[in-house]
């Protein structure tokens, strides 16, 4: 035996492994290279944090910390299971027989490894998602043998499957002392709920009570509901009723609330718990309304009215009327409000406002305007008038009665200058003044917008259009100052990109232009600049999350990372969680995660955030197909990918409330029509869920919009609001350029939609260069 073999034997006996075997653990370099082959991220000069090669990122410069046996084992499992993810993802998404067969075959090939246990866990988890608990038992039992650090999840789901199939004794044996076996598990409380149910089935309610009492903080409805059941089974009906009462009153949106109501009714004769007070019942109804269960809230309010004294009834009746309107019963609300007596001033104003809203819901704009007149006379300082004036302005705007719209918006701002709607109303009045051709008046109002509301959402528009008017007047200094302010302060906003195009008209060099008014705009706080922190490679939860991600168990992985972040401080958890979402093609969740972490990201220049954040916010999935179909339809692929980001955030399974489907949110009838134009034989609506098909038809459909309207701005507006509306808007205004059209779109949703897509396309170009 030569020296090299002796060294190898020594390594195997002592548990020391060659560094290259796990050097890339937890990093994108260890992901199968077949995923996202076509992403331009792979050709960037400046790779993201999670794209750096393992050799670079983990090249030792000092003595490494000793790796614990637990981490060593889970790293080995991670490396061994790297090619499981695509199969696991397909299974958890589709749960077809073929998908089950693929993962089960993988598990058998790795029967004596932790990678096989992960595969069996995935199969069992998928069966539980299908509510096929009997078929979950075998894979979860097989997973136990080599479960390793995933033992808590295997045990929890196995106990669940036993319980759901009526095998109570096995459930108890499996889940007994769960917190002792897995003291750091994130599913301890979940396991306790299942175990408590098993104890109840086994006629051991006192043990169930003791178990669940220790899990009451933070409050969870499943814990509370089962604790109530345990107290009831133990014969302590007073405590049971107290728990059920709390579930019914404070958690009305949960399904257990109705069950708790039934239990309270059953326990009523045998307990001394006080009946529900009117205040408590109103609080429950308010929670239902807040949760948008308007019909249920209206019923609760109705049942309460006759039990109130006359002074308490008006508020409840108006709450009921509001719920009725929101549930589509405007006429019922109107009848209820018309005969409401004995109101104080604020209640009288609210009643009028609600009557106006009922008129609007019935398309009776004149009736609404009449109510606003009454409000103006009776309650000139009321918050209800403030809301009504905004609606009045919007009605006149849609009628194209711009002078009356200006009057309504201006009245709102002047009566309520510090209200939540004041800035928006001021801007609408200022913009419509310009559209009416009163340029000098508009200049003054744009400057007022900046001075009065410097931190408002409308300031970028005010600065841009003030700059454009200065440009028209030949005031180059003021114009350049406005455009430079936009470019610097609102770096990736829609109007900042337009401003940079305008800045190209001015000569470079010289002193920076000055416009004192712009100094009122507050700067953005960069004191909490996000660093590119290393993911803690020796944290067991981090390694566990990466292993779970190999099994496409994304929710479990994300939960492990969040728990790790409580111990390992630093700015690593967001990009690491985003990476796991991306690995599993959950781009919509990746985007929303980073949006929440950096809500002001559009104001930042690219260097202000680590590149990993930008790439998570602006991913490029399905890039080969996007480029191919964009080229076929003579479209900018960055514009197309920005449209997809806005429509579905790259979720190919997205279905809107209007039944628009897939990446580009095509209606089935639209898909069928375009498929016929594309000579796609035997087209079926469910093909819109296939990314390549949706992209083929969506780009073709968008191309027809561009051909019809000749401008991307108009085409995007039509994609969102429909061709007829865009034709109507274009015919109603003499717009000198598309930018003026966009700001004039009367639907806020459509206006912001167009601006967002054009803005996003600019960011994509900055990030990735020439497509």
Given 217, 250, 279, the domain boundary residue is 279
Given 590, 617, 644, the domain boundary residue is 617
> How much is the pLDDT for 528?
60
Q: How many CB atoms lie within 10 A of CB 184?
A: 12
Task: Please indicate, yes or no, if residue 486 is contained in any of the structural domains.
Answer: no
109 and 253 part of one domain: yes
Q: Which residue, 534, 539, 573, 537, is CA-closest to 23?
A: 537
Peptide bond into 218 cis (omega under 30): yes
Task: Please indicate, yes or no, if residue 177 is contained in any of the structural domains.
Answer: yes
37 and 94 part of one domain: no
d(CA 626, CA 641): 7
Reported pTM: 0.87
29 and 178 part of one domain: no
d(CA 423, CA 410): 10
d(CA 428, CA 418): 16
d(CA 6, CA 22): 22
Three-class DSSP labels, 448-495: HHHHHCCCCCCHHHHHHHHHHHHHHCCCHHHHHHHHHHHHHHCCCCHH
236 and 117 part of one domain: yes
11 and 151 part of one domain: no
**Distance from CA of residue 314 to its chain's centroid?**
37
The separation between the first and the last C-alpha atoms of the chain, rounded to the nearest angstrom, is 56
And the tokens for 173? 């044996």
Instruction: Classify the C-alpha dihedral 223-226-232-233 as positive or negative.
Output: negative
- Enclosing domain of residue 666: 623-768
754 and 679 part of one domain: yes
Q: How many CB atoms lie within 10 A of CB 718?
A: 23
> How much is the pLDDT for 385?
97
DSSP per position, 85-148: HHHHHHHHHH--HHHHHHHHHHHHHTTTSHHHHHHHHHHHHHHHHTT-HHHHHHHHHHHHTT-G
Task: Please indicate, yes or no, if residue 93 is contained in any of the structural domains.
Answer: yes
Task: Please indicate, yes or no, if residue 462 is contained in any of the structural domains.
Answer: no
673 and 690 part of one domain: yes
Task: Please indicate, yes or no, if residue 340 is contained in any of the structural domains.
Answer: no
Which stretch of DSSP H or E encloses residue 500? helix 494-503
Q: How many CB atoms lie within 10 A of CB 143?
A: 28
572 and 678 part of one domain: no
Q: Is 768 within 8 Å of 743 (Cβ atoms)?
A: no
Q: Which residue, 389, 390, 383, 305, is CA-closest to 345?
A: 383
**Distance from CA of residue 576 to its chain's centroid?**
18
**Distance from CA of residue 559 to its chain's centroid?**
17
Given 260, 279, 298, the domain boundary residue is 279
37 and 104 part of one domain: no
Task: Please indicate, yes or no, if residue 347 is contained in any of the structural domains.
Answer: no
d(CA 737, CA 760): 20
Rg (CA), the chain: 31
d(CA 710, CA 39): 30
> How much is the pLDDT for 33?
34
> How much is the pLDDT for 256?
97
Task: Please indicate, yes or no, if residue 400 is contained in any of the structural domains.
Answer: no
- CATH number, domain of 244, equals 1.25.40.10
> How much is the pLDDT for 2?
46
DSSP per position, 165-202: TT-HHHHHHHHTTHHHH-TT-TTHHHHHHHHHHHHHHT
> How much is the pLDDT for 65?
63
100 and 240 part of one domain: yes
Q: Which residue, 770, 762, 671, is CA-closest to 712?
A: 762
- CATH number, domain of 707, equals 1.10.530.10
Number of domains in the chain: 3
Q: Which residue, 534, 597, 533, is CA-closest to 26?
A: 534
Q: Which residue, 464, 525, 474, 520, is CA-closest to 495?
A: 464
> How much is the pLDDT for 510?
72
> How much is the pLDDT for 38?
45
**Total H helices, total E strands in the chain:** 41, 0
Q: What is the mean pLDDT of each run of 10 residues along the chain (771 residues)?
A: 42 38 34 40 40 37 68 94 96 96 97 96 98 98 96 98 98 97 97 98 97 96 98 95 96 96 88 85 97 97 92 93 94 91 90 94 93 95 96 96 97 97 98 97 98 97 98 95 95 96 87 90 76 89 97 98 92 94 96 94 90 96 98 97 98 95 97 95 94 98 97 97 96 92 97 98 96 88
Task: Please indicate, yes or no, if residue 339 is contained in any of the structural domains.
Answer: no
Instruction: Classify the C-alpha dihedral 312-315-321-326 as positive or negative.
Output: negative
208 and 248 part of one domain: yes
574 and 630 part of one domain: no
């Amino acid at each position: 035996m030569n020296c090299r073999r002796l060294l190898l034997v020594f390594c195997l006996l002592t548990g020391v492994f060659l560094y290259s075997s796990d050097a890339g653990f937890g990093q994108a370099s260890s992901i199968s290279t077949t995923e996202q082959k076509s992403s331009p991220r792979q050709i960037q000069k400046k790779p993201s944090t999670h794209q750096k090669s393992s050799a670079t990122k983990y090249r030792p410069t000092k003595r490494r910390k000793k790796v614990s046996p637990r981490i060593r084992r889970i790293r080995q499992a991670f490396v061994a299971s790297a090619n499981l993810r695509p199969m696991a993802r397909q299974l958890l998404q589709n749960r077809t027989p073929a998908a089950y067969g693929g993962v089960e075959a993988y598990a058998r090939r790795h029967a004596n490894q932790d990678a096989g246990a992960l595969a069996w866990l995935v199969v069992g988890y998928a069966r539980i998602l299908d509510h096929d608990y009997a078929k979950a038992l075998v894979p979860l039992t097989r997973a136990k043998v080599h479960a390793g650090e995933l033992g808590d999840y295997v045990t929890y789901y196995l106990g669940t499957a036993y319980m759901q199939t009526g095998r109570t004794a096995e459930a108890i044996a499996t889940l007994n002392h769960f917190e002792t076996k897995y003291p750091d598990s994130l599913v301890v409380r979940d396991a306790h709920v299942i175990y408590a149910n098993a104890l109840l089935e086994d006629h051991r309610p006192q043990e169930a009570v003791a178990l669940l009492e220790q899990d009451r903080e933070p409050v969870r409805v499943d814990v509370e509901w089962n604790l109530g059941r345990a107290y009831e089974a133990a014969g302590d009906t007073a405590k049971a009723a107290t728990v059920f009462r709390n579930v019914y009153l404070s958690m009305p949106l949960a399904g257990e609330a109705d069950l708790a109501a039934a239990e309270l009714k059953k326990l009523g004769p045998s307990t001394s718990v006080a009946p529900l007070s009117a205040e408590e019942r109103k609080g429950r109804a308010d929670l239902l309304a807040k949760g948008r269960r308007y019909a249920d809230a209206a019923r609760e309010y109705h049942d309460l009215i006759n039990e109130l004294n006359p002074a308490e009834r008006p508020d409840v009746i108006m709450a009921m009327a509001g719920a009725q309107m929101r549930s589509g019963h405007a006429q019922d609300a109107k009848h209820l409000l018309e005969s409401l007596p004995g109101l104080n001033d604020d209640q009288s104003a609210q009643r009028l406002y609600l009557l106006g809203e009922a008129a609007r819901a019935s398309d009776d704009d004149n009736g609404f305007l009449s109510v606003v007149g009454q409000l103006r006379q009776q309650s000139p300082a009321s918050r209800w008038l403030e809301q009504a004036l905004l609606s009045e302005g919007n009605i006149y705007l849609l009628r194209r009665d711009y002078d009356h719209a200006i009057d309504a918006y201006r009245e709102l701002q002047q009566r309520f200058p510090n209200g939540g709607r004041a800035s928006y109303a001021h801007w609408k009045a200022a913009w419509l003044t310009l559209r009416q051709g009163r340029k000098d008046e508009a200049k003054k109002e744009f400057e007022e917008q900046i001075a009065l509301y410097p931190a408002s959402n409308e300031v970028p528009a005010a600065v841009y259009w003030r700059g454009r008017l200065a440009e028209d007047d030949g005031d180059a200094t003021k114009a350049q100052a406005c455009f430079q302010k936009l470019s610097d302060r609102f770096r990736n906003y829609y109007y900042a990109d337009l401003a940079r195009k305008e800045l190209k008209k001015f000569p470079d060099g010289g002193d920076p232009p000055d416009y004192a008014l712009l100094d009122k705009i507050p700067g953005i706080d960069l004191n909490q600049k996000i660093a590119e922190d290393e993911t803690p490679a020796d944290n067991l939860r981090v390694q566990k999350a990466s292993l779970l991600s190999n099994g496409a168990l994304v929710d479990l992985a994300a939960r492990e990372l969040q728990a790790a972040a409580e111990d390992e401080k630093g700015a690593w958890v967001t990009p690491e969680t985003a990476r796991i979402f991306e690995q599993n093609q959950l781009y919509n969740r990746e985007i929303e995660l980073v949006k929440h972490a950096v809500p002001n990201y559009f104001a930042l220049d690219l260097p202000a955030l680590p590149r990993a954040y930008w790439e998570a916010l602006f991913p490029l999935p399905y890039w080969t197909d996007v480029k191919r179909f964009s080229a076929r339809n003579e479209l900018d692929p960055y514009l197309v990918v920005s449209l997809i980001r806005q429509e579905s955030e790259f979720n190919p399974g997205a279905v809107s409330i209007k039944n628009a489907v897939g990446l580009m949110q095509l209606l089935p009838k639209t898909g069928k029509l375009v498929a016929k134009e594309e000579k796609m034989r035997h087209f079926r609506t469910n093909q819109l869920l296939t990314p390549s098909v949706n992209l083929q038809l969506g780009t073709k459909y968008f191309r027809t919009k561009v051909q019809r309207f000749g401008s991307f701005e108009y085409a995007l507006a039509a994609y969102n609001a429909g061709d007829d509306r865009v034709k109507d808007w274009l015919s109603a205004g003499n717009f000198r350029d598309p930018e003026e059209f966009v700001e004039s779109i009367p639907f806020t949703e459509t206006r912001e939609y167009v601006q967002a897509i054009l803005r996003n396309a600019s960011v994509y170009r900055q990030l990735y260069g020439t497509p």
